A and B are shown apart, each in its own frame.
Chain A
Amino acid sequence: MATDTTTRTVTRPVTEFADTRLDSQIPDGPIEGTWDKHRVQMKLVNPANKRKYTIIVVGSGLAGASAAATMAELGYNVKCFFYQDSARRAHSIAAQGGINAAKNYRNDGDSIYRLFYDTVKGGDFRAREANVYRLAQVSLNIIDQCAAQGVPFAREYGGLLDNRSFGGAQVSRTFYARGQTGQQLLIGAYQALSRQVAAGKVQIFPRTEMLDLVLINDRARGIVTRDMVTGKIESHLGDAVVLGTGGYGNVFYLSTNAKGCNATAIWRAHRKGAFFANPCYTQIHPTCIPVSGDHQSKLTLMSESLRNDGRIWVPKKAGDTRDPRNIPEGERDYYLEERYPSFGNLVPRDVASRNAKQVCDDGRGVGSGGLGVYLDFSDAIKRLGEQVIRERYGNLFHMYQKITAENPYEVPMRIYPAVHYTMGGLWVDYNLMSSIPGLFVIGEANFSDHGANRLGASALMQGLADGYFVLPYTIGNYLAQATFDKVSVDHPSFRETEQEVDQRTKRLLAINGKRSVDSFHRELGKLVWDYCGMGRNEQGLQLALERIPALREEFWQNVRVLGDAADLNQELEKAGRVADFLEFAELMTTDALHRAESCGGHFREESQTPEGEAKRDDEHFSYAAAWQFTGVGKKPVLHKEPLEFEYVKPSQRSYK
């Protein structure tokens, strides 16, 4: 795909890029009152009328399940779709560390404003201030709601909630439930959802995959799905469609995402007109277990809470293969403590990951293949005793030992960065509505709150904020003002989309080539990891933009998908998802090429400070890049939403 990236990146002032199609709908006035004011101004749906509306929710993770349950409580009819066999299995379940909230229970100086400030700064000044402020505000309500649902948060001996400092925060604002916070929060939302299923307000569709979005008169009115057990293609009509389908990290093949996580729902919506914002913002998490061989199917993350007590180091000398316990202190490089004395091992994720890559690129990486650094608990064990460490991290150490057969109480852990979260996603306004009227996008699937880098324990917060406390209000505002055509699933738009989906499925099964779906996915993953991963440069990105379309073409000529369409067929499911990743990867790379600055998780090697830190270019890139689809292999159109910072003045992030 050819792009005109060279012509549009520089020279003009930001305001010139303002695009009327990207109206963020943020109310005026002081930021502290924006959300309150908006809530008063929004139109309401009469309680008796709510039952006349049907809302389609795709995804049952923290965002999807909390939104579906809350909207059902309000009286709407909700249909909730997910590809797993139970809503409780969505990948939010794997989040370990915790959830942030500005409760200031620790009396250590936290406040809504500080959480807002930290998040805007942590996002490297590429998020909307008003969205982030709202997120910090509703963080308080989330903890209340979850505690009332019976989420077994960690507590102190007095019975009150415990907190810890997490992921680069200098206050203790993270609530947690052992190492299973995501699981417990999701079970809370799942139980709320189950209650509404029992009440007859939510209809669930397990093992059902959304394969396309249906628009009628330019509004999102439904979806076309495939029943993954029977293969049946079906249409579902609604008055609004909500996507809570997660991120696109699996484009890299190896990531910490679940195997089934995919971008099909958001990509299909993008193809139907929803703008895709900042796809190049991907987060590489620093504390994952290194790859053990070619058979590797996914990467396992260990909570970065480990960095609270573990010290990260590599040997000073390249190629030092001694047992780490035999390397004397003087020959170890505690590079994070050295370079960032005030944050040390607790620098934000992007900084920690990039530094790990650097030391490994220098030949000082450890373990087989040299792609790893040590995370060493021996000092903490000496200081606190093994029992304390076992209480804090026992389950993580256990998991590490299960996977690597090494005992981290005795030998330092080996860690390496892995793709973990994607900050980019479908563009949404302040109401979480995409550029397609009636299509709302929540949680990781949207681009809204984390800018170019997400802070630890903020994903759970955002997913639940969107689902419990933002969308249920804003969707009412949309429904109250929209006029809906009386249509049924017999409408030609549904029939045509069903046919397209059916033909695509048949086409995949008919190719009968030589290569498996996984072999294409692995090759694509390696390509984007090498050229659009932790470090990116123009030459590499150009190369990727040549290779991705070629690989896509080969896929459609040479993939082998066995079995039937009218059957449970896991290869067919994967094939559809990989086909979409092959289109999406091109957009991600295009965005990375156009953004000729470094910011957060997007590190352009051409744009760094003399010390090797990410260097932003606010003059030219202080905007959200929202891409419009124009056809497969065709140049997408770039729309720019300028970002304004009234409260947190952009500065070079420094964790020194």
Chain B
Amino acid sequence: MDLTLKVWRQKNVSSQGQFITHPAKNISPDMSFLEMLDVINQELITKGDEPIAFDHDCREGICGMCSLMINGIAHGPEAGTTACQLHMRSFKDGDTITIEPWRARAFPILKDLIVDRSAFERVIQAGGYISVSTGSAPDANSIPVPKKDADFSMDAAACIGCGACVAACPNASAMLFVGAKISHLGVLPQGQVERYERAVTMVQQMDEEGFGNCTNAGECSAVCPKEISLDVIARMNRDLIKASFMQIAGKKVAGKK
């Protein structure tokens, strides 16, 4: 099939970007979306034009590196699917496809379709872990976890940190990402000791990075390639409210910007 691509091209973080139109001819429906971009890039190289820069790595929907806004939808039209697993059979001959990077103040554009997501790193560094040094763990079966809790924890832990939730949110809020981590760890017995402090410090860092607030639009969960539920945000808010009664203040975190 033949398509027309409108692709955001931007030289670097400090320059201005714009949409450039690239024709895409003879595209096979069996190609993945990124393989289609590979083909375009090979043509650009042949013509002597710089190829389109885009983030990608595992190409099997798990590393969270790919980050394309396709026709205004983070990761494109298929539910529960990353851009790398989206296939061209989801489009039809003659379509015009608009491809943009994630757009959020906390995710500056580095080049073309590539953004800087280091804000997520700093949020995790602010408390997204259980403090257990190597060697100090008890036998794994000494702490039983109800299956229901383990399953809920796994649902939240499935987050791949791609940032689609932020890109889709009208407020560029990171609450689905942060709520997922707080829920993954906070529901497990191992994560209880630091549960409320974790919620406070991670949310503090999230605010500091310039992510917006949640206004219950629900776009984040709708585009999430791992279909993480809005429940994690509710859970995060409950933990924050409890923390406020417990008078837990955030701690100063070293090593952040």
Binding site for B on A (CB under 8 A): 66, 69-70, 73, 84-86, 88-89, 91, 93-94, 103, 105, 141, 143-150, 152-161, 177-178, 180, 183-184, 187, 190-192, 194-195, 197-200, 204, 206, 229, 256, 258-260, 292-293, 295-298, 300-301, 398-399, 402-403, 405, 468-469, 472, 516, 518-519, 560, 562-563, 567-568, 570-571
Contacts and interface: CB of A to CB of B under 8 A. Distances in A.
Contacts of A568: 12, 53, 110-111, 114
Contacts of B62: 93-94, 180, 183
Nearest to B226: A180
5 contacts: A85-B55, A103-B141, A194-B128, A296-B35, A301-B60
A153 B140 CA distance: 10
Nearest to B150: A155
B61 A399 contact: yes
Given A147-B137, A198-B253, A402-B85, A191 B128 contact: yes
Nearest to A201: B255
Interface stretch (B166-174, B182-190, B206-214, B230-238): B182-190
Given A159-B145, A180-B158, A402-B81, A198 B120 contact: no
Interface in B11-50: 11-12, 28, 30-32, 34-36, 38-39, 42, 45-46, 48-50
A297 B45 contact: no
Contacts of A403: 32, 85, 87
B59 A298 contact: yes
Contacts of B184: 150, 152
Interface string B130-153: 111111111111011111001001
Residue of A105, A152, A296, A568 most packed against chain B (CB within 10 A):
A152
A86 B117 contact: yes
A47 B50 CA distance: 52
Nearest to B55: A85
Contacts of B133: 70, 73
B145 A187 contact: no
Nearest to B254: A200
Interface residues of B, number: 83
B133 to A, nearest CB: 4
Interface of B is mostly: loop
A121 B133 CA distance: 34
Contacts of A70: 133-134
Nearest to A95: B62
Nearest to B34: A297
A405 B89 CA distance: 9
B100 to A, nearest CB: 17
A206 B118 contact: yes
A69 B134 contact: yes
Given A149-B130, A198-B255, A199-B255, 20 more contacts: A70-B133, A73-B133, A86-B64, A89-B57, A143-B140, A144-B138, A145-B135, A150-B153, A152-B188, A157-B147, A159-B150, A161-B141, A197-B255, A258-B57, A258-B58, A259-B56, A293-B30, A402-B78, A402-B87, A472-B134
B31 A293 contact: yes
Contacts of B191: 150
Contacts of A153: 140, 150
Nearest to B48: A562
A86 B121 contact: yes
A177 B85 CA distance: 21
Contacts of A297: 32, 34-35, 38, 59
B132 A145 contact: yes
B129 interface: yes
Nearest to B140: A147
Given A94-B58, A568-B110, A562 B161 contact: no
B63 A89 contact: yes
Interface string B73-85: 0000010110001
Given A158-B144, A570-B51, A85 B59 contact: no
A159 B150 CA distance: 8
Contacts of A184: 154, 157
A93 B185 contact: no
Contacts of A178: 154, 158
B39 A295 contact: yes
Residue of A89, A296, A469, A472 most packed against chain B (CB within 10 A):
A89
Contacts of B135: 141, 145, 469
A434 B191 CA distance: 39
Contacts of B157: 152, 177, 184, 187
B70 to A, nearest CB: 15
A143 B137 CA distance: 9
A229 B108 CA distance: 13
A93 B58 contact: yes
B222 interface: no
Given A184-B157, A198-B254, A155 B58 contact: no
Contacts of A560: 45
A100 B112 CA distance: 42
B147 A159 contact: yes
Nearest to A191: B129
Contacts of A199: 254-255
B60 A300 contact: yes
A415 B131 CA distance: 42
Given A86-B161, A198-B253, A148 B57 contact: no
Nearest to A67: B134
A147 B56 CA distance: 30
B153 A152 contact: yes
A184 B158 CA distance: 8
B240 interface: no
A93 B140 contact: no
Nearest to B37: A297
B147 A200 contact: no
B116 interface: yes
Nearest to B251: A198
Residue of B39, B63, B80, B154 most packed against chain A (CB within 10 A):
B63
A571 B256 CA distance: 32
Contacts of B57: 84, 89, 91, 258-260
A84 B256 contact: no
B243 interface: no
Contacts of B53: 568, 570
B124 interface: yes
A150 B190 contact: yes
Residue of A105, A260, A468, A472 most packed against chain B (CB within 10 A):
A260
Residue of A93, A147, A516, A562 most packed against chain B (CB within 10 A):
A147
Nearest to B81: A402
Contacts of B65: 84-85, 89
B83 to A, nearest CB: 12
Contacts of A146: 140
Nearest to A562: B50
Contacts of A298: 59-60
